[in-house]
Structure 1
Amino acid sequence: MLTRKQHELICFIADRLAETGVSPSFEEMKDALDLKSKSGVHRLISALEEREFIRRLPNRARALEVLRMPERGDAKPAGRTRTTDASTSSTSRSISAGSTPPSPANDVVEIPLHGRIAAGTPIEALEGGTMLPVPAALLGSGEHYALEVAGDSMVEAGILDGDYALIRRTETARDGEIIVALIDDAEATLKYFRKEGAMIRLDPANRSYDAQRYRPDQVRVQGKLAGLLRRY
Structure 2
Amino acid sequence: MALSPKEKEALEFIEAYFVDNGFPPTVREIGEAIGFTSKSSVYKLLRRLEAKGYLEIVPGEARGLRLIRPARGIPVLGKIPAGEPLIPYEDFEEVLPVDPSFFGAEKLFALRVKGDSMVGAGILPGDLVVIRVTEEAKNGEIVAAVLTEPEPEVTLKRLELKNGTLVLKPENLSYEPFVFEKEDVARGRVKILGVMVGLIRKGLNPAL
Equivalent residues in 2 for 1:38-187, closer than 5 Å: 109-115=72-78, 127-136=91-100, 138-184=102-148, 186-187=152-153
SS of residue matched to 2:120: helix
Q: Which runs of 4+ in 1 moved over 4 A?
A: none
Q: In terms of Rg, which structure is larger? A: 1
Name the CA distance, whole Å, in 2 between partners of 1:222 and 1:205. 19
Segments of structure 2 that go 5 or more residues without pairing to the other structure are 5-51, 53-71, 81-89, 204-208
Match in the other structure for 2:202: 231
Name the CA distance, whole Å, in 1 between partners of 2:124 and 2:175. 15
Aligned-residue offset at 1:197: 2.5
Match in the other structure for 1:13: none
Aligned-residue offset at 1:210: 1.3
2:159 maps to 1:193: yes
TM-score (norm 1): 0.46
Q: In structure 2, do the counterparts of structure 1 residues 213 and 140 end up closer, same or farther at CA, with 3 Å as the change threshold?
A: same
2:173 maps to 1:216: no
Per-residue CA shift, 1:23-62, capped at 9, x if unaligned? Answer: xxxxxxxxxxxxxxxxxxxxxxxxxxxxxxxxxxxxxx9x
Q: In structure 2, do the counterparts of structure 1 residues 229 and 116 end up closer, same or farther at CA, with 3 Å as the change threshold?
A: farther
Aligned-residue offset at 1:130: 1.8
SS of residue matched to 1:216: helix
Aligned-residue offset at 1:141: 2.2
8 Å CA contact 2:77–2:93 kept in 1: the answer is yes
8 Å CA contact 2:78–2:93 kept in 1: the answer is no
Name the CA distance, whole Å, in 2 between partners of 1:143 and 1:189. 19
| AA matched with 1:115 | G
Q: In structure 2, do the counterparts of structure 1 residues 184 and 194 end up closer, same or farther at CA, with 3 Å as the change threshold?
A: same
SS of residue matched to 1:194: strand
8 Å CA contact 1:116–1:147 kept in 2: the answer is no
Segments of structure 1 that go 5 or more residues without pairing to the other structure are 1-21, 23-60, 62-108, 118-125
SS of residue matched to 1:162: coil
How many correspondences in the alignment?
A: 118
Aligned-residue offset at 1:198: 3.2
| % identical equivalent positions | 38
TM-score (norm 2): 0.51
Name the CA distance, whole Å, in 1 between partners of 2:100 and 2:165. 36
